[in-house]
Amino acid sequence: MRSLKLMQPIASEQAPEGKEWVYEIKYDGFRAVLEWSAEKISLISRNGKDLTDNFPEIVSYCNELQELAAPLLPLRLDGEIVILNTIFQANFSLLQQRGRFKSEATIKRAALKRPAHFLCFDLLQLNGKGTTDNKYTERKNKLRKVFERIDQIPAIRWDSRIGFIDSYPDLESIWSNLFTHKGEGIVAKRAESTYTDGKKHNAWLKIKNWRNISGIMTNYDQGNGYFELAVYEKEELKPIGKFKHGLEGKELETLKTLLVANAEKQGNTYHLPPAICMEVHCLDVKEGELREPLFNRFRFDMDITSCTLEKVQESLAMIPETIELSNQDKIFYEKEGLLKRDFLLYLREMTPYILPFLSNRALTVIRCPDGVEGDSFFQKHLPDYAPVYIAGEKSGDDTLLHCGSVEALIWLGNHGALEYHVPFQKMGKPVPVEIVFDLDPPSIKEFPLAVFAAKLIKRLIDQFQLEGFIKTSGNKGLQVYIPIPENSLSYDQTAAFTQAIAFLIEKQHSDLFTTERLKKNRKGRLYIDYVQHGKDKTLIAPYSPRKNPKATVSTPLYWEEVTDQLSPEQFTIKNVAGRVKEKGCPFAGYEEARGRQPMEIVKNFISESGG
């Protein structure tokens, strides 16, 4: 096994600026080279390890593109193997697990459950000719044309297994995306640089998206040089991890002298009473370990009692510094023992998944300033004390609410906005961008009726070759979504479509389902609400919490999860973020599906049904 001669980025605390620099997202993955010829496709790690068998889904996908790629071969592509949570955030822990699997059957199961991507950022060889002497911009343009040739546009797609890491000329915009998605970092690259092996250059600089956490130094292991950091959880010190790097020179020597004079030594370890606060950079804290920790500075300005687990959680969440959080210890979900802090941490963790469904749409919120048990009210217009970044379009003398950024979502959450409802059209537009069936059983006891109805709708839309998505309402029902291209259908046409489907299901199972709007006339049947799908009418957004004592969330599902064992109470603000990290987001491909929908088939059906 021989290491590959690859160009490597150099760590930097600051991102350089100027016209000579461009910027790329740095993903948390395995650096690898995709070697692609007419005879063989291989994935080779930076250390020379053959990863081909570990990621069969990538190789199989390239084989499917062999005919399109043939005029370009042989190719050598430099990139990163990743498992994506979002377009800007990778899941390194899942990738590590994949890397350890040996069994072919286990690898295949994992590849089906959470398939990996090979995201390419550089071109080393085209048509068998080396390109490393070309300037970065030339290599990037050639690489872009490679991906255009094999029909990989947009640059990263959920339904593909290879992608293209594009570059940004603007540091502010790429950092904004990185911050929103809590990605790993960026790489700044000199536009005129050639490809140089190793780190003997000043052309690629990596800048990490650090989380800065403060803790108390409690132990020092003289044997391996690691310091231990702890914080208070209530009144007890809780270790959160160890670090070694970044503390050096006079600071390190002074600290060691202090330890020898004041700490109790047991074996190789010095134990220090809680007294010294310090700030450490890291990417995460998990199961008593700091991810890529780096000492930043001593915090002599801090009292040890302010080094708490709650403060660490806020720092890891990357709450915008411009927002001053209030009343974090207020009880929001009394029955579940959840505080306002827990609610806001959920919103921040889920920001990359929620915002795509709120951006560019008029927003209506249900505000519960004192939690779900307190008073609540609807709000859809901008209050006079609100910041400009939650302002939408004008509506008469009022301004509509809009949530299109991390700051907007956290500001709204901090002001008690518990539920987030949006219409079916973009702000200021007269036509829908999705069709939705709202399946509303009489109570949660009849939730299996919603499961049955959803499966019936799935069979019907499959006949139209439409891609449908499903989520819980967060209360007692299910909602089936069909994304459609903007300007493809009017509200009159979608009304005709939803009505025809609803009437058909009602006719087939009149004892179970009804389209009767009056509750008193439904007689225990599930209500198929097609009327709610109209201009300016709203529905709860994906991943929005609900005003429910059990802290439930309107949660996207995979169709195979829609079984009789399903319950909307399974999904709460306590577990949905972890679920998405483990299983991925079922709505990840929502926007891509929009452009694939066979709208002519739908239009013909509407026309034939008299719509």
Q: Left, alpha or beta for 287 (phi > 0: left; psi -120 to 50: alpha)? A: left
User: Is 49 annotated as catalytic?
Assistant: no
Residue with tokens 């709708």: 457
Displacement of CA 609 from its chain's centroid (Å): 40
Residue of 474, 597, 456 whose CA lies nearest to 528: 456
CA dist 114 → 161, 266, 267 (Å): 11, 46, 45
CB of 487 within 8 A of CB of 570? no
Residue ranges of alpha helices (H) inside 442-532 are: 447-463, 491-508
- Residue 585 structure tokens: 């987001």
Q: In whole angstroms, give the CA distance from residue 500 to residue 489.
A: 15
Q: Out of 5, 19, 26, 476, which one is annotated catalytic?
A: 26
CB of 212 within 8 A of CB of 279? yes
DSSP state of 559: G
CA dist 307 → 5, 111, 282, 313 (Å): 44, 41, 16, 11
The three-point CA angle 109-114-117 to 5° equals 115
Q: In whole angstroms, give the CA distance from residue 220 to residue 265.
A: 9
CB of 478 within 8 A of CB of 472? yes
Q: In whole angstroms, give the CA distance from residue 118 to residue 566.
A: 34
Q: In whole angstroms, give the CA distance from residue 164 to residue 156.
A: 6
Backbone angles phi, psi at 219, to 5 degrees: -140, 150
Q: How many CB atoms lie within 10 A of CB 177?
A: 17
Cα dihedral sign, 539-542-547-553: positive
Cis peptide before 154 (omega within 30 of 0): yes
- Report which secondary-structure segment, H or E, holds 144: helix 136-149
Q: What would the DSSP string read from start to end of 412-445?
A: HHHTTEEEEEEESB-TT-SSBSEEEEEEE-SSGG
CA dist 261 → 242, 264, 278, 458 (Å): 22, 9, 19, 71
Q: In whole angstroms, give the CA distance from residue 502 to residue 514.
A: 8
The amino acid occupying position 421 is H
Backbone angles phi, psi at 115, to 5 degrees: -65, 150
Residue of 336, 335, 354 whose CA lies nearest to 346: 354
Q: In whole angstroms, give the CA distance from residue 188 to residue 121.
A: 12
Residue with tokens 């009505």: 499
CB of 282 within 8 A of CB of 213? yes
Q: Which residues have a catalytic role annotated?
A: 26
